[in-house]
Amino acid sequence: MQKNNSNKIEESLLAKIIAVAYGDAGLMDKIKIYKLAKKNALVKQLLIEYRLTANTVHKIEETELPVSISDKVRSRIEGKSNSNAVGSFIYSRLFARPILSTSVALLLMIGIVGIFLFTKPASESKYSKIEIELAQQQFEHSLAIVGKVFQHAEKKLEIEVISKHVSKPLNTGLIYLNDYLIGG
Amino acid sequence: MLHSSKFDFLIKQNKDKIFNYALYMLRNRMDAEDVAQEVMIRIWKNINKFNFYAARAWIMRTTHNLCIDNLRQKGKQYHREVSLDDNLSERIEDHNIDQSPEKVLSESMINEKIKNAIDRLPEIHKSPFVLYEIQGFKYKEIGKILDIPLNSVKVNILRARKQLQKELRFYAKKQLK
């Protein structure tokens, strides 16, 4: 008999009794313990006590997670995933594909150029006739000033620069050259 | 869309398990709710990473780790602030057709005693015990969740059962009479 004395039971036997009581022992162990329980009062008592506790433990019901908690998580997740979804949708549709991104860039360029082209007449129409005439007059006046400056510069070039500073040294140079050639 | 339905399925299957495990480990409802929230957010963040069959173990491992972190942060061994058996009055009302209120009350008291006794188990014994006896995980799964050898799982569960029996001997004998 696997019994040291009337009150004590071997650890291995106790482990088997507990396993049988909790319902996870093998078939052979179950038969062995049931047979032993019929003969041994202590084994029977232990088996009953442990089974009682096991049954109560197995009856313990799970506490439900409050709905508010799962709702809170869901709203947090949905909030994040929606903003992410919009961003990722735009990215995946427009920027993640080279052909699409190129065509989008082209469209944008055409659009910008188009805006400039079509808005040009509108910008011209901003000025009144008087303003345009005044601008023309100012333009002519400035051209006349420039013309005068050019005339003055031309005269100065003919009279002062070419006659004094260019033709005179050139003449003297030619005289020296003639003298040298005739002399040689 | 697929991620969302996968997430919904996993949450539906595991939310109560996560919450109960955290409740047993932390003995505090607020902390358990915080852990449950964090686990659910982590499930969403990792929804693409783990495969469906390993999800259960992954979820419980994450729960266990967060509970351990929480206990370490607070360094606490305080008693349960909120009873696990919050719906006692409802159960007395539900059962009063078949059973007497005294019997339901007595059963509830024993339930509460058992839950308190489980509470008092050391963490090393409590984790495998709760996962095996209350949440129905297999030894192998518990080994993966707690990252301990299979033999240690069995030994710790056996020790927990013995300790629980020691604490509840009085009630067991009373019930047998």
More confident residue, A166 or B92: A166
d(CA A92, CA A177): 85
**pLDDT at residue B161 is higher than 90:** yes
Pair of tokens at residue B170? 């009085």
Q: What is the largest CA-CA distance in chain A?
A: 161
Do B15 and A62 lie within an 8 Å CB cutoff?
A: no
Determine the average pLDDT of the residues in B165-176: 72
Q: What sections of B121-149 are H helices per DSSP?
A: 123-129, 139-146
pLDDT tens digit string along A76-113? 887 766 655 555 555 555 555 667 777 888 889 888 88
Round to whole Å and give the CA distance between B55 and B144. 12
> Is there a contact between B161 and A65 if contact means CB atoms under 8 Å apart?
no
CB of A49 closer than 8 Å to CB of B1: no
Q: Can you tell me the distance from the alpha carbon of A120 to that of A122, in angstroms, rounded to the nearest whole number?
A: 5
ipTM: 0.76
The Cα B108–Cα B140 span in angstroms is 32
- Residue among A45, A47, A42 at smallest CA distance from A29: A47
Q: Which residues of A touch B164 (CB under 8 A)?
A: 53, 57
pLDDT score, position B92: 47
Which residue in the set A15, A60, A70 is minimally distant from B11, CB to CB?
A70
pLDDT at A98: 65
Q: pLDDT tens, B21-53?
A: 999 999 889 999 999 999 999 999 888 877 777
What distance in Å separates residue A58's CA from the closest CA in chain B?
A: 6
CB burial string B42-54: b at 16+ within 10 A, e below: ebbeebeebeeee
Residues of B whose CB is below 8 A from A81? 4
Q: Do B133 and A57 touch (CB under 8 A)?
A: yes
- Optimal mutation site among B17, B21, B161, interface A, most CBs of chain A within 10 A: B161
Percent of the residues in chain A that have a pLDDT greater than 70, as a whole number? 81
Contacts of A67 in chain B (CB under 8 A): none
